[in-house]
Structures are given as C-alpha cells and as structure tokens.
Amino acid sequence: MLNAKVETKWFQLFLVLGILIRVATGILNSGYLALDDYYILFFSVPAQSESLSLISSVQAVPEIRSLLPDSIIRLFATTAYKFGFDDPLYQIKFVFSCLGLLSGISIWIGYKFLKYLYPEETNPKNNYQAWVPLSGTFLLSLHFLMPLVSTRALIESMSAPFLLGAVFSASIYWKSGEWKQLGISLSLLAIASLFRFQVGVCAFALFSLVIYRSWKSKSFKDIYAFLIFSALLALITGLPDLIFRGTFHSSLRSYISYNLQHSAEYGTSPWFAYLPAILGVSLFPFLIGKYKGFDWKSEYSKFVPVIIFSVLFLVVHSAIPHKEERFLLPILPLLLILISPLCAYWRGIEKGRMSIRRLSFLIVNFLLLDLLCFFTIQNNTIELVRYLNFHKDIKELYVYRDSIPHLPVSYAYRDPLERYEYIESLDQNMQPKIQNFDPFKSCSAVLAVRKDYVMNGVDPDPPWILVGNFRSSPLEELAVFMNPNKNKRRASLYLYQLQLCKEK
C-alpha cells in the first residue's frame, strides 16, 4: 500500500507545481484563446480609474452574458491598477495570474474526489488503485491543457472548478443519499451555470440520479428536495439581473434568444466533431493496450455520476450545429478524472522497469505544455497593438483585406486611431489604394499585411518600408501550416510605414 506520508508529499508537490505553472503561464503568456475571451478583457480591462467599482457600467457587459465573470475580472483588474499597474498589459497578466491561483482549487477537489472513490482501506498492497488519486492529481496539475485554459478569462474555464465540485458532491449523494450533498451539488452547478449557461444542462444529469435513487427507495422525498432546492437557486441566481438590468434572468433569456437567431451564422460542424478533441485531450494512443486484471465494470461503476454528467454534456453539445473545442472546457477536469484509473494501471504494471509508454507520454505532454503555456497565443495582433502603444505618433492604421480580423485594443492605453480602414488592393506601382490619402500629410500612417499575402506578392514598394514583423507562436505557425484556410488569421503580420516619415 502507498505510504500515507509519501502520498501526502506527492500531492503537495503536484499542488505547488500546478499553481506555480499556472501563475507562470499567466505572466508569460498574455494571449487570449477566443473572441469571447477577449471581449471579457475588453469590457473589464484596462481599469484606468480608481473609481471603478466591483460592478461598474453594467450596460457595458453584453446582455447575453451573466454579470458574474465580468465582475470578477473587473475586480482583479481594479486591484492591479490600485497596486500601480498602469499598463493594461500588466493588468491582464495580473488577471490571468489570479485566475491561475483560483483554478488551483481544481487540483485539490480532484484529489479529494478520487480519495473518496478509492479509500485507503480498500486498496490492497501494491495494487495500482492506490495510485489513482495521485494519477488524477498529476493530470489536473500538469496536463498540457490545464495550466493554459485555467488562466484565461474564458467563461468555460471559470465554470470548470464549480462543475467538478458539483460532480464530487453528486457522487457522495449517489452513495449516501445525503440531502446536504444534493444541495451543495445543485448550488455549485448553479454557480458554474452563471459562467457558462450551457453547463445548466447537467442539472438533468443530477436529476436522473435523484430519480433513480427515489425509484430504488420507493420514496419521492429526494425529488421534492431537488425541486425545492432548484426553485430557490433559480430565484437567487436571477436576482442580479433583476437588480442591475431590471428583468429577472434577462441575460439567460437574451442568450437563448440570441443563439436561436444567430447560431447558424457561426458555422456548423458534424455531430462527431468533438470526438477528435476528446481523443487528443486524453492522449489516447498512450492508453491503448491489454488491460489484464483490470475490472472495467468494478472500476467505472464508481464513476457513474461523472459518466452521466459528461455524456449528457457531450450529447447536448454534439446536437448543437455550431461547435468549438473550447465549449468542452467545463468538462475537461471530468475527462481527466475518468482516465485516471487507466494511467494508474499502466504506472502499476510498468513500475520498476523502463517504460516507453510512460516516457513517450511525458515527453509529448510536457512538450505541448511548454508550447501552449509559454508562447503567447494571438501574438501577432497583440504585438502589433503593443507597437502602437509605444508609438503614439501613429494615427492611421490601414489593413490589407482580412489581415487583422479585429484589433485587441485592450492591450494598449493610448488615444484612439484617427483612421482604421481596410484596403482591397495595391495599384500598378505596388502602392496601397487608399481613398483621400496624401503621403505628405499622412506621415503617421502604417499598413499591416498578413504573411500569406506577402508571400503571394503583396509587398508594397518604397516609399513604404518594413518597420515591424509580428510573429505567431510556434504552435500557431504549425496550425497555419496544417490548416491554412481555418487558421490564416494566426499567421505573422508585416507592418509598413512611409519612408518619407522615417527620414524626418
């Protein structure tokens, strides 16, 4: 049996490493994962006013989103400003670091959850089951995706620890029937749903557990308790919208209405689109093998609530036409919990000898961890904005076609640009066609062109000269190479400025 003191030291090590790498990721990787992620920063950072309150300018928060995530980000940004971080970039780094610290709770919850499922007295000596809690802790701490996604301002990431806690309490209720745990599970699920409304579908998973237990015990008391708890939580979670927006659950109503009207505009994907993402997250090839002596039924009967929550979440999201991998982030910790017994099994089987499987798993995991956590995502546009932040003499920015989908202005604090326009072509002299443009009166103008356009001949001649090259991260460069049509917005950017201006 695993020595208790040794296990405690391993847990503490994984907890400390997980928190440290999250904070380091928040500091060293200032990028954002998606536009939804960026818009939270846009409305909450920079906090340039000391009068910025916890909930300030409610109208600035999009109607389709709850006030909770924006309030938390705004609080962190305001704190950073009061600590003397005037530059919005450092405010953003502070926000990401705080989120990383908070997300460390997932490591602790996951360990306690697995210790509950695998108590010491049931683990025979030298059995792999004794290592399941530590295997899960390792995954929640150092899995290549966890440090990055848990430090971003994404509503999906912020909901994940609460969903994990809800499933933990649901598992205790599943075994013991305690109403207290049922109430805790519902409460945590309600909080998770305030970050990501779709997480609310997991209430049906919890209700299915309640119905089954009620059927087995031939009593409806648990169903009544569930309905009463749900009604109270629905009332409580709708009050902020009623107070600050004037309508009960207005954000949820607006969110549903918006998606019914506009979801199709964001594109559609086949029902199985999430399967490759799940296999990638699990590093599935390293789990393939003959599981001799592994009792699948006995092992995974412990995880019935985890499986029901995860499967229902996946089925509902697979039925929705518009799909993005980040939508799976709330259940990422649950998926890692589910593969913990498999990882522990191979650790036990291959203990004491050289294991190509484990070595390859660790190499791939930590290589991806390094690339994802410590190389800035969306680096091309962020570096462009930072260049504009330090060159406040630039007043006009022209963009060749779709070279820049949007400009992340929250990463700079300067006067607005006087002109920000898209151009469609260059003339026969390889000069950008810009209406009402006088080079002798527009010495503050720059032109941004994406790398693929430059490689195809869109390279302005003098008096335009290259003044900046804002490169993508290595992983984004790989994504562009593998699928240029989908990821071309991540390609490097070239910035040109009039030579007439540079000579002055």
- Contact of 388 with 36, CB cutoff 8 Å: no
356 and 414 part of one domain: no
Tens digit of each residue's pLDDT (9 = 90 or more) over 444-482? 899 999 999 999 999 999 889 999 999 999 989 988 988
- Contact of 154 with 199, CB cutoff 8 Å: no
187 and 102 part of one domain: yes
Confidence of residue 56 (pLDDT cuts 50, 70, 90): very low
488 and 385 part of one domain: yes
The pTM for the full model equals 0.91
59 and 171 part of one domain: yes
- Distance between alpha carbon 390 and the CA centroid of its chain, in Å? 29
Q: What share of the chain is helix, strand, coil (3-state, %, to 5)?
A: 65, 5, 30
Here the tokens at position 398 are 């022209």
- Give the range among 46-50, 97-101, 177-181 with minimum mean pLDDT: 46-50
The proportion of the chain whose per-residue pLDDT surpasses 70, expressed as a percent, equals 94
Strand order in the sheet with 396-400: 419-423, 396-400, 445-450, 493-498, 464-470
How many residues comprise the chain? 504
451 and 486 part of one domain: yes
The helix/strand/coil state of 354 is: coil
Domain that holds residue 194: 4-373
pLDDT for residue 51 is more than 50: no
161 and 228 part of one domain: yes
Domain boundary among the residues 373, 395, 416 is at 373
360 and 383 part of one domain: no
**How far from each other are the two terminal CA atoms of the chain, in whole angstroms?**
76
Domain boundary among the residues 315, 339, 373 is at 373
Residue 126: the pLDDT is 56
346 and 384 part of one domain: no
Q: How far is CA 362 from CA 104, 350, 370, 466, in A?
A: 21, 14, 12, 42
Here the tokens at position 384 are 């462009």
353 and 418 part of one domain: no
81 and 158 part of one domain: yes
496 and 358 part of one domain: no
Here the tokens at position 39 are 């818009």
Domain count, the chain: 2
DSSP 247: S
402 and 322 part of one domain: no
Residue 52: the pLDDT is 36
Domain boundary among the residues 310, 341, 373 is at 373
